[in-house]
Structure 1
Amino acid sequence: MSKDYGQFCGLAKAASVLGERWALLVLRDLSLGPRRFGDLQKGLPGIPTTVLTTRLRELEEHGIIERQAPPLGRRGLVYAMTDHGRDLTPILDALGRWGARRMADPGTHDVMTSSSLAGALRSAYRPGVIPDEVTIRVAAGPVLAWARTTPDGVAVGAGIPDGPIDLTITTGPAMRHILAGTLSPSEALATGALAFDGSRELFDLFPRAFHVPLDPTIIQGEST
Protein backbone atom coordinates (compact mmCIF):
# COMPACT_ATOMS: atom_id res chain seq x y z
CA MET A 1 0.00 0.00 0.00
CA SER A 2 1.23 3.46 -0.86
CA LYS A 3 0.13 5.30 2.26
CA ASP A 4 2.37 5.21 5.31
CA TYR A 5 1.93 8.03 7.76
CA GLY A 6 5.14 7.24 9.63
CA GLN A 7 3.49 7.28 13.04
CA PHE A 8 3.46 4.63 15.74
CA CYS A 9 -0.29 5.03 16.11
CA GLY A 10 -3.05 2.48 15.73
CA LEU A 11 -5.29 4.89 13.85
CA ALA A 12 -2.47 5.76 11.44
CA LYS A 13 -1.79 2.09 10.77
CA ALA A 14 -5.50 1.38 10.24
CA ALA A 15 -5.76 4.32 7.85
CA SER A 16 -2.80 3.06 5.85
CA VAL A 17 -4.63 -0.23 5.31
CA LEU A 18 -8.23 0.94 4.98
CA GLY A 19 -7.81 4.40 3.48
CA GLU A 20 -7.21 3.30 -0.09
CA ARG A 21 -9.97 3.90 -2.66
CA TRP A 22 -12.74 1.24 -2.60
CA ALA A 23 -11.14 -0.69 0.29
CA LEU A 24 -13.99 -0.12 2.74
CA LEU A 25 -16.64 -1.09 0.20
CA VAL A 26 -14.77 -4.27 -0.70
CA LEU A 27 -14.70 -5.12 2.99
CA ARG A 28 -18.38 -4.24 3.39
CA ASP A 29 -19.30 -6.77 0.73
CA LEU A 30 -16.97 -9.45 2.09
CA SER A 31 -18.31 -8.93 5.61
CA LEU A 32 -21.58 -10.38 4.30
CA GLY A 33 -19.90 -13.61 3.22
CA PRO A 34 -17.34 -15.06 0.79
CA ARG A 35 -17.41 -13.68 -2.76
CA ARG A 36 -15.81 -14.59 -6.05
CA PHE A 37 -13.96 -11.89 -7.94
CA GLY A 38 -16.82 -11.56 -10.43
CA ASP A 39 -19.37 -11.30 -7.62
CA LEU A 40 -17.42 -8.45 -6.05
CA GLN A 41 -17.04 -6.68 -9.37
CA LYS A 42 -20.76 -6.98 -10.08
CA GLY A 43 -21.69 -5.75 -6.61
CA LEU A 44 -19.39 -2.72 -6.78
CA PRO A 45 -20.57 -0.81 -9.87
CA GLY A 46 -17.85 1.45 -11.20
CA ILE A 47 -14.84 -0.24 -9.64
CA PRO A 48 -12.05 -0.70 -12.20
CA THR A 49 -10.80 -4.28 -12.53
CA THR A 50 -7.23 -3.21 -11.80
CA VAL A 51 -8.29 -1.41 -8.62
CA LEU A 52 -10.26 -4.41 -7.34
CA THR A 53 -7.32 -6.70 -8.08
CA THR A 54 -4.96 -4.38 -6.21
CA ARG A 55 -7.25 -3.93 -3.19
CA LEU A 56 -7.76 -7.68 -2.84
CA ARG A 57 -4.03 -8.33 -3.03
CA GLU A 58 -3.26 -5.63 -0.44
CA LEU A 59 -5.97 -6.78 1.97
CA GLU A 60 -4.72 -10.34 1.65
CA GLU A 61 -1.15 -9.24 2.33
CA HIS A 62 -2.33 -7.62 5.57
CA GLY A 63 -4.12 -10.75 6.72
CA ILE A 64 -7.58 -9.18 6.50
CA ILE A 65 -8.92 -11.48 3.78
CA GLU A 66 -7.90 -14.82 2.36
CA ARG A 67 -8.61 -16.96 -0.67
CA GLN A 68 -10.60 -20.12 -0.06
CA ALA A 69 -11.79 -23.11 -2.04
CA PRO A 70 -15.31 -22.55 -3.40
CA PRO A 71 -18.36 -24.16 -1.80
CA LEU A 72 -19.19 -27.65 -3.01
CA GLY A 73 -20.57 -27.58 -6.52
CA ARG A 74 -19.20 -24.15 -7.43
CA ARG A 75 -16.16 -23.18 -9.43
CA GLY A 76 -13.49 -20.57 -8.79
CA LEU A 77 -11.76 -19.42 -5.65
CA VAL A 78 -13.61 -17.12 -3.28
CA TYR A 79 -12.36 -14.28 -1.11
CA ALA A 80 -13.36 -14.33 2.55
CA MET A 81 -12.65 -12.41 5.73
CA THR A 82 -10.11 -13.86 8.16
CA ASP A 83 -10.71 -13.72 11.91
CA HIS A 84 -8.61 -10.55 11.91
CA GLY A 85 -10.78 -9.12 9.15
CA ARG A 86 -14.05 -10.04 10.87
CA ASP A 87 -12.98 -7.88 13.80
CA LEU A 88 -13.66 -4.95 11.46
CA THR A 89 -17.40 -5.72 11.15
CA PRO A 90 -18.58 -3.57 14.08
CA ILE A 91 -16.25 -0.80 12.89
CA LEU A 92 -17.74 -0.94 9.39
CA ASP A 93 -21.23 -0.83 10.92
CA ALA A 94 -20.31 2.16 13.09
CA LEU A 95 -18.88 4.02 10.09
CA GLY A 96 -22.05 3.22 8.15
CA ARG A 97 -24.24 4.65 10.91
CA TRP A 98 -22.05 7.75 11.12
CA GLY A 99 -22.17 8.37 7.39
CA ALA A 100 -25.91 7.73 7.16
CA ARG A 101 -26.72 10.45 9.68
CA ARG A 102 -26.22 13.04 6.94
CA MET A 103 -27.63 10.94 4.12
CA ALA A 104 -31.32 11.64 3.59
CA ASP A 105 -32.04 11.21 -0.12
CA PRO A 106 -29.94 9.67 -2.91
CA GLY A 107 -28.24 11.97 -5.36
CA THR A 108 -28.83 11.82 -9.09
CA HIS A 109 -26.00 9.37 -9.67
CA ASP A 110 -26.19 7.45 -6.39
CA VAL A 111 -26.97 3.76 -6.64
CA MET A 112 -28.00 1.21 -4.05
CA THR A 113 -26.74 -2.35 -4.20
CA SER A 114 -28.00 -5.47 -2.48
CA SER A 115 -24.83 -5.52 -0.37
CA SER A 116 -25.18 -1.86 0.64
CA LEU A 117 -28.80 -2.48 1.66
CA ALA A 118 -27.80 -5.55 3.67
CA GLY A 119 -25.02 -3.56 5.33
CA ALA A 120 -27.46 -0.77 6.16
CA LEU A 121 -29.82 -3.26 7.83
CA ARG A 122 -27.00 -4.71 9.91
CA SER A 123 -25.69 -1.33 11.04
CA ALA A 124 -29.22 -0.13 11.84
CA TYR A 125 -30.24 -3.12 13.96
CA ARG A 126 -31.09 -2.52 17.60
CA PRO A 127 -31.37 -5.74 19.65
CA GLY A 128 -34.20 -6.40 22.06
CA VAL A 129 -37.03 -4.86 20.04
CA ILE A 130 -38.09 -8.00 18.17
CA PRO A 131 -38.46 -10.81 20.73
CA ASP A 132 -38.54 -13.73 18.32
CA GLU A 133 -36.35 -15.18 15.61
CA VAL A 134 -37.77 -13.76 12.40
CA THR A 135 -36.64 -13.26 8.81
CA ILE A 136 -37.32 -9.98 7.05
CA ARG A 137 -36.84 -9.49 3.33
CA VAL A 138 -36.44 -5.98 1.90
CA ALA A 139 -36.86 -5.26 -1.80
CA ALA A 140 -36.02 -1.90 -3.38
CA GLY A 141 -36.55 -2.42 -7.09
CA PRO A 142 -33.99 -5.02 -8.22
CA VAL A 143 -32.05 -4.61 -4.96
CA LEU A 144 -32.75 -7.40 -2.45
CA ALA A 145 -31.50 -7.99 1.08
CA TRP A 146 -32.61 -9.83 4.19
CA ALA A 147 -32.17 -9.73 7.93
CA ARG A 148 -32.68 -12.61 10.36
CA THR A 149 -32.94 -11.68 14.03
CA THR A 150 -31.50 -14.07 16.61
CA PRO A 151 -31.04 -13.96 20.40
CA ASP A 152 -27.42 -12.96 19.78
CA GLY A 153 -28.08 -10.19 17.25
CA VAL A 154 -28.83 -10.17 13.56
CA ALA A 155 -27.56 -11.95 10.48
CA VAL A 156 -27.92 -10.21 7.13
CA GLY A 157 -27.29 -11.03 3.52
CA ALA A 158 -27.77 -9.85 -0.03
CA GLY A 159 -30.35 -11.50 -2.24
CA ILE A 160 -33.05 -13.92 -1.15
CA PRO A 161 -32.82 -15.75 2.20
CA ASP A 162 -33.13 -19.47 2.69
CA GLY A 163 -36.18 -20.70 4.56
CA PRO A 164 -39.49 -19.03 5.40
CA ILE A 165 -39.90 -15.26 5.35
CA ASP A 166 -41.95 -13.58 8.08
CA LEU A 167 -42.12 -10.11 6.54
CA THR A 168 -41.41 -8.69 3.10
CA ILE A 169 -41.05 -4.93 2.70
CA THR A 170 -41.09 -3.42 -0.78
CA THR A 171 -39.94 0.16 -1.01
CA GLY A 172 -37.47 2.59 -2.59
CA PRO A 173 -35.61 5.70 -1.39
CA ALA A 174 -38.24 6.13 1.34
CA MET A 175 -36.50 3.31 3.25
CA ARG A 176 -33.92 5.81 4.53
CA HIS A 177 -36.66 7.93 6.11
CA ILE A 178 -38.32 4.87 7.63
CA LEU A 179 -35.01 3.86 9.23
CA ALA A 180 -34.60 7.44 10.45
CA GLY A 181 -38.08 7.60 11.94
CA THR A 182 -38.97 10.70 9.92
CA LEU A 183 -41.56 8.67 8.00
CA SER A 184 -43.82 6.31 9.94
CA PRO A 185 -44.88 2.94 8.52
CA SER A 186 -48.50 4.14 8.38
CA GLU A 187 -47.52 7.29 6.48
CA ALA A 188 -45.40 5.27 4.07
CA LEU A 189 -48.29 2.90 3.41
CA ALA A 190 -50.73 5.76 2.92
CA THR A 191 -48.50 7.51 0.37
CA GLY A 192 -47.62 4.33 -1.49
CA ALA A 193 -43.94 4.74 -0.65
CA LEU A 194 -43.90 1.27 0.85
CA ALA A 195 -45.83 -2.01 0.79
CA PHE A 196 -45.51 -5.09 2.94
CA ASP A 197 -46.54 -8.71 3.05
CA GLY A 198 -46.66 -10.55 6.36
CA SER A 199 -47.21 -9.70 10.00
CA ARG A 200 -48.53 -6.19 10.64
CA GLU A 201 -47.19 -6.38 14.19
CA LEU A 202 -43.70 -7.15 12.91
CA PHE A 203 -44.03 -4.43 10.27
CA ASP A 204 -44.80 -1.88 13.00
CA LEU A 205 -41.77 -3.07 14.99
CA PHE A 206 -39.44 -2.81 12.01
CA PRO A 207 -38.52 0.92 12.28
CA ARG A 208 -37.84 0.51 15.99
CA ALA A 209 -35.64 -2.54 15.49
CA PHE A 210 -33.80 -1.03 12.52
CA HIS A 211 -33.06 2.62 13.22
CA VAL A 212 -30.40 5.10 12.13
CA PRO A 213 -31.41 8.71 12.90
CA LEU A 214 -30.74 11.65 10.65
CA ASP A 215 -28.63 14.53 11.89
CA PRO A 216 -30.91 17.29 13.22
CA THR A 217 -29.37 19.78 10.79
CA ILE A 218 -30.46 17.59 7.87
CA ILE A 219 -34.00 17.35 9.19
CA GLN A 220 -34.14 21.13 9.70
CA GLY A 221 -32.85 21.69 6.18
CA GLU A 222 -35.61 19.52 4.73
CA SER A 223 -38.29 21.38 6.66
CA THR A 224 -37.21 24.85 5.50
Structure 2
Amino acid sequence: MTSESTQVEEAPHASSQLPEVQEAGAPDTAAAAVAAAADKPGAPEKKATHSTRDQRIQVEILMRAGHNFARIMELTGLTYNQVRYVSNAVRNGDLEPRPRTGRPRMLSEEQVKQLVEFVNASEENKNMAYKRIPEAMGWDCTHHAIRHALRRAGMGKAVRQKQEQDQKQQQQQRLQQKGGITKQNPAPKKKMPSAAKARTAPPSQVPTQTAAAYPEPPMIGSPPYDQPEAPQL
Protein backbone atom coordinates (compact mmCIF):
# COMPACT_ATOMS: atom_id res chain seq x y z
CA MET A 1 0.00 0.00 0.00
CA THR A 2 1.42 3.39 -0.95
CA SER A 3 2.01 6.32 1.36
CA GLU A 4 -0.82 8.31 -0.23
CA SER A 5 -3.39 5.62 0.53
CA THR A 6 -2.09 5.39 4.10
CA GLN A 7 -2.59 9.12 4.60
CA VAL A 8 -6.13 8.94 3.21
CA GLU A 9 -7.02 6.10 5.57
CA GLU A 10 -5.66 8.02 8.56
CA ALA A 11 -7.72 11.10 7.67
CA PRO A 12 -10.92 10.05 9.56
CA HIS A 13 -8.83 9.37 12.68
CA ALA A 14 -7.35 12.88 12.47
CA SER A 15 -10.79 14.45 12.09
CA SER A 16 -12.08 12.59 15.17
CA GLN A 17 -9.57 14.45 17.33
CA LEU A 18 -10.68 17.89 16.12
CA PRO A 19 -12.76 20.18 18.36
CA GLU A 20 -16.47 20.56 17.92
CA VAL A 21 -17.79 22.10 14.71
CA GLN A 22 -18.38 25.81 14.78
CA GLU A 23 -21.95 27.03 14.91
CA ALA A 24 -23.69 27.64 11.62
CA GLY A 25 -23.78 31.19 10.30
CA ALA A 26 -20.41 32.16 11.78
CA PRO A 27 -18.69 34.94 9.79
CA ASP A 28 -15.92 33.71 7.53
CA THR A 29 -14.20 36.85 6.24
CA ALA A 30 -10.64 37.66 5.30
CA ALA A 31 -10.44 40.39 7.94
CA ALA A 32 -11.31 37.98 10.75
CA ALA A 33 -8.78 35.45 9.49
CA VAL A 34 -5.98 37.99 9.27
CA ALA A 35 -6.79 39.33 12.74
CA ALA A 36 -6.77 35.83 14.22
CA ALA A 37 -3.40 35.11 12.60
CA ALA A 38 -1.95 38.36 13.96
CA ASP A 39 -3.12 37.60 17.51
CA LYS A 40 -1.76 34.06 17.44
CA PRO A 41 1.67 33.79 19.15
CA GLY A 42 4.42 32.52 16.93
CA ALA A 43 2.72 33.58 13.70
CA PRO A 44 5.08 33.59 10.68
CA GLU A 45 6.61 37.02 10.14
CA LYS A 46 8.57 36.31 6.98
CA LYS A 47 7.35 35.02 3.63
CA ALA A 48 5.62 31.67 4.08
CA THR A 49 6.94 28.59 2.32
CA HIS A 50 4.89 26.37 0.05
CA SER A 51 2.54 24.04 1.87
CA THR A 52 3.11 20.28 1.72
CA ARG A 53 0.61 17.66 0.56
CA ASP A 54 -0.03 16.51 4.14
CA GLN A 55 -0.88 20.06 5.18
CA ARG A 56 -3.27 20.46 2.26
CA ILE A 57 -5.02 17.20 3.17
CA GLN A 58 -5.33 18.41 6.77
CA VAL A 59 -6.85 21.69 5.60
CA GLU A 60 -9.34 19.80 3.44
CA ILE A 61 -10.42 17.65 6.43
CA LEU A 62 -10.89 20.74 8.60
CA MET A 63 -12.93 22.43 5.88
CA ARG A 64 -15.21 19.41 5.54
CA ALA A 65 -15.60 19.40 9.34
CA GLY A 66 -17.10 22.91 9.08
CA HIS A 67 -14.27 25.09 10.37
CA ASN A 68 -13.72 28.55 8.92
CA PHE A 69 -10.44 30.00 7.68
CA ALA A 70 -9.50 31.59 11.01
CA ARG A 71 -9.88 28.32 12.91
CA ILE A 72 -7.97 26.37 10.24
CA MET A 73 -5.12 28.89 10.37
CA GLU A 74 -4.99 28.54 14.15
CA LEU A 75 -4.86 24.73 14.04
CA THR A 76 -2.45 24.28 11.14
CA GLY A 77 -0.22 27.38 11.45
CA LEU A 78 -0.70 28.23 7.76
CA THR A 79 -1.37 31.68 6.35
CA TYR A 80 -4.64 32.94 4.94
CA ASN A 81 -3.41 32.72 1.34
CA GLN A 82 -2.30 29.11 1.85
CA VAL A 83 -5.70 28.11 3.25
CA ARG A 84 -7.48 29.93 0.45
CA TYR A 85 -5.31 28.16 -2.12
CA VAL A 86 -6.34 24.79 -0.68
CA SER A 87 -9.99 25.88 -0.65
CA ASN A 88 -9.85 26.74 -4.35
CA ALA A 89 -8.04 23.47 -5.07
CA VAL A 90 -10.74 21.50 -3.28
CA ARG A 91 -13.42 23.14 -5.41
CA ASN A 92 -11.48 22.23 -8.55
CA GLY A 93 -10.87 18.69 -7.28
CA ASP A 94 -7.07 18.79 -7.39
CA LEU A 95 -4.75 19.12 -4.39
CA GLU A 96 -1.51 18.46 -6.27
CA PRO A 97 0.74 21.53 -6.64
CA ARG A 98 0.91 23.13 -10.04
CA PRO A 99 4.20 23.75 -11.86
CA ARG A 100 5.69 27.02 -10.65
CA THR A 101 6.05 29.77 -13.19
CA GLY A 102 9.17 31.82 -13.84
CA ARG A 103 12.74 31.04 -14.79
CA PRO A 104 14.24 28.15 -12.81
CA ARG A 105 17.22 28.74 -10.59
CA MET A 106 20.61 28.34 -12.18
CA LEU A 107 22.06 26.87 -8.97
CA SER A 108 20.51 23.92 -7.18
CA GLU A 109 20.23 23.63 -3.41
CA GLU A 110 23.28 21.36 -3.33
CA GLN A 111 25.31 23.89 -5.30
CA VAL A 112 24.23 26.67 -2.94
CA LYS A 113 25.49 24.62 0.00
CA GLN A 114 28.79 24.04 -1.79
CA LEU A 115 29.02 27.77 -2.52
CA VAL A 116 28.49 28.69 1.14
CA GLU A 117 31.12 26.17 2.23
CA PHE A 118 33.55 27.51 -0.36
CA VAL A 119 33.09 31.12 0.74
CA ASN A 120 33.50 30.25 4.44
CA ALA A 121 36.55 28.06 3.79
CA SER A 122 39.10 30.89 3.92
CA GLU A 123 39.44 34.64 4.12
CA GLU A 124 40.64 34.74 0.53
CA ASN A 125 37.44 33.09 -0.66
CA LYS A 126 35.35 35.58 1.30
CA ASN A 127 37.14 38.45 -0.40
CA MET A 128 36.84 36.95 -3.87
CA ALA A 129 34.82 38.90 -6.44
CA TYR A 130 31.56 37.52 -7.83
CA LYS A 131 32.88 37.07 -11.36
CA ARG A 132 35.82 34.94 -10.16
CA ILE A 133 33.75 32.49 -8.11
CA PRO A 134 32.21 30.53 -11.07
CA GLU A 135 35.68 29.91 -12.52
CA ALA A 136 37.01 28.79 -9.14
CA MET A 137 34.05 26.43 -8.61
CA GLY A 138 34.07 25.14 -12.19
CA TRP A 139 30.44 26.14 -12.83
CA ASP A 140 28.89 27.46 -16.02
CA CYS A 141 26.89 30.35 -14.56
CA THR A 142 27.03 34.12 -14.37
CA HIS A 143 28.12 36.26 -11.47
CA HIS A 144 24.49 37.37 -11.07
CA ALA A 145 23.52 33.82 -10.05
CA ILE A 146 26.36 33.78 -7.50
CA ARG A 147 25.25 37.12 -6.08
CA HIS A 148 21.59 36.09 -5.74
CA ALA A 149 22.55 32.76 -4.12
CA LEU A 150 24.77 34.51 -1.57
CA ARG A 151 22.07 37.06 -0.85
CA ARG A 152 19.57 34.30 -0.14
CA ALA A 153 22.12 32.76 2.22
CA GLY A 154 22.66 36.12 3.95
CA MET A 155 26.26 36.51 2.78
CA GLY A 156 26.00 39.09 0.01
CA LYS A 157 27.09 42.20 1.89
CA ALA A 158 30.66 41.21 2.82
CA VAL A 159 31.47 39.92 -0.65
CA ARG A 160 29.94 42.97 -2.32
CA GLN A 161 32.05 45.38 -0.24
CA LYS A 162 35.19 43.48 -1.08
CA GLN A 163 34.28 43.50 -4.75
CA GLU A 164 34.24 47.30 -4.70
CA GLN A 165 37.68 47.28 -3.06
CA ASP A 166 38.96 44.94 -5.78
CA GLN A 167 37.68 47.32 -8.44
CA LYS A 168 39.51 50.25 -6.83
CA GLN A 169 42.71 48.20 -6.64
CA GLN A 170 42.40 47.31 -10.30
CA GLN A 171 42.01 50.98 -11.19
CA GLN A 172 45.14 51.87 -9.24
CA GLN A 173 47.08 49.09 -10.95
CA ARG A 174 46.03 50.31 -14.39
CA LEU A 175 47.11 53.85 -13.51
CA GLN A 176 50.50 52.60 -12.31
CA GLN A 177 51.01 50.61 -15.50
CA LYS A 178 50.25 53.65 -17.64
CA GLY A 179 52.48 55.83 -15.45
CA GLY A 180 49.78 58.42 -14.93
CA ILE A 181 49.23 60.29 -11.69
CA THR A 182 45.78 61.64 -10.98
CA LYS A 183 45.46 65.11 -9.51
CA GLN A 184 43.16 65.49 -6.56
CA ASN A 185 40.69 68.37 -6.87
CA PRO A 186 42.38 70.22 -9.78
CA ALA A 187 41.72 73.96 -10.03
CA PRO A 188 39.00 74.86 -12.55
CA LYS A 189 40.17 76.43 -15.80
CA LYS A 190 39.32 80.08 -16.43
CA LYS A 191 37.17 80.66 -19.48
CA MET A 192 38.31 83.53 -21.72
CA PRO A 193 35.59 85.56 -23.47
CA SER A 194 35.48 84.96 -27.19
CA ALA A 195 35.78 87.69 -29.84
CA ALA A 196 32.16 87.26 -30.91
CA LYS A 197 30.92 87.96 -27.36
CA ALA A 198 33.12 91.07 -27.14
CA ARG A 199 31.67 92.47 -30.39
CA THR A 200 28.09 91.84 -29.32
CA ALA A 201 28.58 93.34 -25.85
CA PRO A 202 26.57 96.54 -25.04
CA PRO A 203 28.41 99.90 -25.23
CA SER A 204 28.49 100.24 -21.45
CA GLN A 205 30.51 97.04 -21.15
CA VAL A 206 33.02 97.83 -23.95
CA PRO A 207 36.47 98.63 -22.42
CA THR A 208 37.82 102.19 -22.77
CA GLN A 209 40.97 100.96 -24.50
CA THR A 210 39.00 100.24 -27.64
CA ALA A 211 38.09 103.97 -28.16
CA ALA A 212 41.65 105.15 -27.43
CA ALA A 213 43.21 102.63 -29.78
CA TYR A 214 40.95 103.58 -32.70
CA PRO A 215 40.46 107.44 -32.78
CA GLU A 216 37.63 108.90 -34.78
CA PRO A 217 38.76 109.96 -38.32
CA PRO A 218 38.41 113.64 -39.37
CA MET A 219 35.34 114.70 -41.35
CA ILE A 220 35.74 115.31 -45.09
CA GLY A 221 36.10 119.05 -46.03
CA SER A 222 37.01 120.18 -42.55
CA PRO A 223 40.51 121.25 -41.47
CA PRO A 224 42.55 118.84 -39.35
CA TYR A 225 42.08 119.06 -35.64
CA ASP A 226 45.76 120.00 -34.99
CA GLN A 227 45.80 122.99 -37.49
CA PRO A 228 44.88 126.42 -35.94
CA GLU A 229 41.97 128.36 -37.39
CA ALA A 230 42.63 131.25 -39.83
CA PRO A 231 42.56 134.80 -38.27
CA GLN A 232 39.54 136.94 -39.02
CA LEU A 233 40.13 140.14 -40.95
Which structure: greater helix fraction? 2
Q: Which category describes the TM-score, using the shorter chain as reference length? A: under 0.3
Per the normalisation by structure 2, the TM-score is: 0.25
* Larger relative contact order (CA 8 Å, sep ≥ 6): 1
Per the normalisation by structure 1, the TM-score is: 0.26
Structure having the higher Rg: 2
